[in-house]
Amino acid sequence: MNVTLIGYGAGNVASVRFALERLGARVRITDDPTDVAEAERVILPGVGAAGYAMQRLKALGLVEALRAFPRPLLGVCLGQQLLFETSAEDGETELLNLIPGRVEAIEPAPSRPSPHMGWSRLTIRRDDPLLEGVKDGDWAYFVHGFVCPDGPATLAAADYGVPVPAVVNSANRWGCQFHPERSAAAGARILKNFLELPA
């Protein structure tokens, strides 16, 4: 199982790498667009601000490589958000435009502080190979202050006073808003399923 992890200075690369290696994967970390184009499958991690992440991806020449990538691609946390069209973060940030919709800030409320930080249960909306073996009510670990639009791409959601698209898919692109590398058995199962998707 070979997987390429994008190391672009805005990701939780080490923890994702360790989680993948525990599953027996051979992990390559790169910021080279040629490596990405040749990869069997790619994971785009992310922590922090969308604007900074997109600046880094553009500077490294990775935006077009990711847009053109034809095999399984998984965005993790901020990496999921980057798959969408735009983000309200930093005014208006253009993202990778791989899934329709705009990423918005979580509106805080007394029972819903922002960022959303901690464990939430997943509700499965649609069957998908990435969710094989993951059940309604399984727990996942979230840390995020922005939320993707809830729409046709949503495979699983969490309830945070509003629906939080927790897992999304469009064509060969998947996203996890939570951190699968920190989400115990359910997270490990999702990463294993991703590694087994046909390349």
Q: pTM for this structure?
A: 0.96
* Least confidently predicted of 40-44, 84-88, 114-118, 121-125: 114-118
DSSP output for 58-74: HHTTHHHHHHH--S-EE
Q: How many CB atoms lie within 10 A of CB 47?
A: 17
Q: What percent of the chain has pLDDT over 90?
A: 89
Domain locations along the chain: 2-196
**Interval 20-39 mean pLDDT:** 98
Amino acid at 116: H
Contact 141/161 with Cβ under 8 angstroms? Answer: no
Check residue 85 and give its pLDDT: 98
- So which residues are the catalytic ones? 77, 179, 181
Fold held by 2-196? Rossmann fold (3.40.50)
